[in-house]
Structures are given as C-alpha cells and as structure tokens.
C-alpha cells in the first residue's frame, strides 16, 4: 500500500504497514484505511462511506454516480486517517463475476 504522509508526522508508518480497502455495494460505497501496529494487528485509522445510486443488483448502471461515491468515501477516510491512499484492495462480488486460470508469454526485445 502506498500512502502520502499526512497529519501524523510522528507516526509515519512504513509503506507496507498501511492498508486501504474498498467495498462497492448496491446501496453504499465503503472505504477504510488501516495501519498495522507494532504487534502485527490492524488498527483502523479512517473510514468513509457514501450512498451509491449507480449500481443496481450488482451491476453498474451509472458509472459517473458510482465514481463520485467512491471519490467521496475515499476523501472521508483520508480526512479521518490523515493519510492519502494511492493503492487499494478492492473486493468484487456478484453472480455475474467469473474467473479462469490462464498462462501466457510475452516476447521482450532488449535494447543495447
């Protein structure tokens, strides 16, 4: 997780000690920022929520409304925690979500 230093200059956690999570639901968006403490436990530093009218039954029907809900929830969590989230873990669920295993290869030309 990458973060920018916020209002806690004396408590500047390392890059790997801050975790952000995002849950995009049909009724609301939730964004959370947590810090791994010295005992290895997660302390919640900031939480943001925002109603979401851009998703119905797990399907995005209004991308602008969904994007705005994510932005507002993120800003709220960042304000509460004092850290700016740059990367985030996102949970994706729904009956329409499918996955598959795949292997591939890419040729890379080395410039000399």
Give residue-wise pLDDT tens across range 24-43.
998 999 999 999 999 999 99
DSSP element (H, E) containing 89: strand 89-91
What's the pTM value of the predicted model, to 2 decimals? Answer: 0.72
The answer to whether the beta carbons of residues 61 and 35 sit under 8 Å apart is no
In this structure, CATH architecture of domain 3-91? 2-Layer Sandwich (3.30)
Give residue-wise pLDDT tens across range 83-111.
999 889 998 777 778 888 889 988 888 88
Can you tell me which residue has the tokens 């990458």?
Answer: 2
Return the domain boundaries, the chain: 3-91
Helices then strands, each counted (H, E), the chain: 1, 8
């Amino acid at each position: 997780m990458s973060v920018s230093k916020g209002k806690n200059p004396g408590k500047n956690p390392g890059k790997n000690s801050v975790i952000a999570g995002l849950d995009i639901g049909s009724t609301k968006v939730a964004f959370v920022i947590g810090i791994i403490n010295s005992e290895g436990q997660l302390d919640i530093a900031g939480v943001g929520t925002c109603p979401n009218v851009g998703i119905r039954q797990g399907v995005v029907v209004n991308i602008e409304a969904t994007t705005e809900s994510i932005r507002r929830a993120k800003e709220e969590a960042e304000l509460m925690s004092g850290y700016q989230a740059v990367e985030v873990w996102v949970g994706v669920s729904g009956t329409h979500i499918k996955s598959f295993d795949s292997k591939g290869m890419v040729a890379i030309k080395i410039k000399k």
